[in-house]
Amino acid sequence: MYSFSDLFCGGGGMSLGLIEAGLEHKLAVDFWEVARLNYTSYHRLADGEFLQMNLFEEEQRNELIEIIRENSIDVLVGGPPCQGFSTLGKRSEKDDRNKLVDAYLDIAIQVSPKMIIMENVPAIQSMRHESGVRYPQYAKNFLRENGYYAETIFIEGKQVGLAQTRKRLFLLAIRQDEVKQMDDFLSIINAKVTNHTMHNVQKTLRDVIYDLPRFESGEGEDEIVIDGQTIYNHNVFDYREDNLERIRQVPTAGGLQDIPDEYLSNHLIKMKNGGYGSGGFVKNLYGRLEWDKPSGTIVAGIKKITCGRFFHPECNRLLTVREAARLQSFPDDYKFLGSFIDQYTIVGNAVPPKFSELIANVLTEIYEEYKH
């Protein structure tokens, strides 16, 4: 059994996928107190060590490197915070959070694990590293120069049977001195991915959340029992009446354009009429989902009524934390802790466990087949 350490672990989506793939959890690291609270409270994650560290700080990075070395980790995984790369906000090549990618890669080289996994948003491919090349190419070059086979691939929700159109970039690397020569690492990866995903189909909201009770504004509980099974986090904000009136105007697959001006603020009217541009964000604002289609990418901002197309297909509200968690492939027995906003953020920022399970299976199978 291969052991792993998960950096920038959040609520543990990445870790859960690796555990499902048969890897042993040894160490998790995150700076956010809410991440620590959630990660350590879930029974399948609680057996490993959790370190609350700020990896911006060189001293703490050096301390972590020594701890990982002492634990003899086989696989280093992580999703350095991606807000600086996200297309859902204003992208910035100078965002300090982008530097955590460099910190992660430096830690990886220092601890020299057999295998490395890094996850990020697709927009990272268009951002340039300070060296002048785009980030994915920089990461691959850096690892190759330090003795690794390294490639990047995209994984989409439909490949692993998610009910969302999420797409993420993964960097996969194997230490060259651990395996026989691989002349085309990318082709080997792609063949494995195809083998694991060829029978999967895109799921819809109906497949994933239809069985959950139709709660409205202010309804639901932290814990409910359905057919003898406890379901957590299926409760709803208590919306203001003006917001409820707006939501009620939105038909299936509709959005801001369907809300009469009488229900909108001057700001929203201007947005509706193209005063701020007419991109996809405006099109999806106040958007209602459809039962027989997947959702868009679940994001941390789903907690905001104006974030995008996240209204329930029937109920006049946003998706609950539990509904969002199901779309992310979290198990129902994971109870998310903290405020409403914290819970949505933990779920939206997570790597879907089914994504990391696939990547872990692909990488460890390649390692097994090619190791000396």
| Domains with residue ranges and CATH for the chain | 3-202+352-370 (3.40.50.150), 205-349 (3.90.120.10)
Q: In 3D, which of 61, 189, 168, 49 has the Cα closest to residue 118?
A: 168
For residues 372 and 367, give the distance between their C-alpha atoms in angstroms, rounded to a whole number.
9
Window from 184-193, 262-271, 298-307, 329-338 with minimum mean pLDDT = 298-307
Q: Which two tokens stand for residue 179?
A: 């395996």
Q: Which residues contact 261 (CB under 8 A, 6 or more apart)?
A: 269, 272
pLDDT of 225 above 50: yes
pLDDT in tens, 166-195: 999 999 999 999 999 999 999 999 999 999
Question: What is the per-residue pLDDT for 130?
Answer: 83
Question: What is the per-residue pLDDT for 96?
Answer: 52
Residue 43's Cα: distance from chain center in Å? 20
Q: Which residues are catalytic?
A: 82
The Cα-based distances of 118 to 23, 168, 193, 197, 307 in angstroms read 16, 10, 16, 20, 27
Q: What's the predicted TM-score (pTM) here?
A: 0.93
pLDDT of 285 above 50: yes
pLDDT of 279 above 80: no
Q: Which residues contact 70 (CB under 8 A, 6 or more apart)?
A: none
The Cα-based distances of 101 to 7, 10, 89 in angstroms read 11, 16, 18
90-123 exposure pattern, b = at least 16 Cβ within 10 A, e = fewer:
ebeeebeebebbbbbbbbbbebbbbbbbbbbbbb
Percentage of the chain surpassing pLDDT 70? 94
Q: Is there a contact between 148 and 116 (Cβ–Cβ < 8 Å)? A: yes
Higher pLDDT, 3 or 282: 3
Question: What is the per-residue pLDDT for 122?
Answer: 67
pLDDT in tens, 81-138: 755 433 344 444 454 545 888 999 999 999 999 999 999 876 777 788 888 888 889 9
Question: What is the per-residue pLDDT for 291?
Answer: 98
Average pLDDT over residues 363-367: 99
Average pLDDT over residues 55-82: 93
For residues 127 and 133, give the distance between their C-alpha atoms in angstroms, rounded to a whole number.
8
**Region of 21 on the Ramachandran plot (φ > 0 left; ψ -120 to 50 alpha; else beta):** alpha
pLDDT of 282 above 90: no
Question: What is the per-residue pLDDT for 116?
Answer: 99
Question: What is the per-residue pLDDT for 280?
Answer: 53
Percentage of the chain surpassing pLDDT 90? 80
Beta strand 24-30 with 49-52 is parallel
Window from 57-61, 212-216, 298-302 with minimum mean pLDDT = 298-302
- Mean residue pLDDT of the chain comes to 92
Question: What is the per-residue pLDDT for 277?
Answer: 67
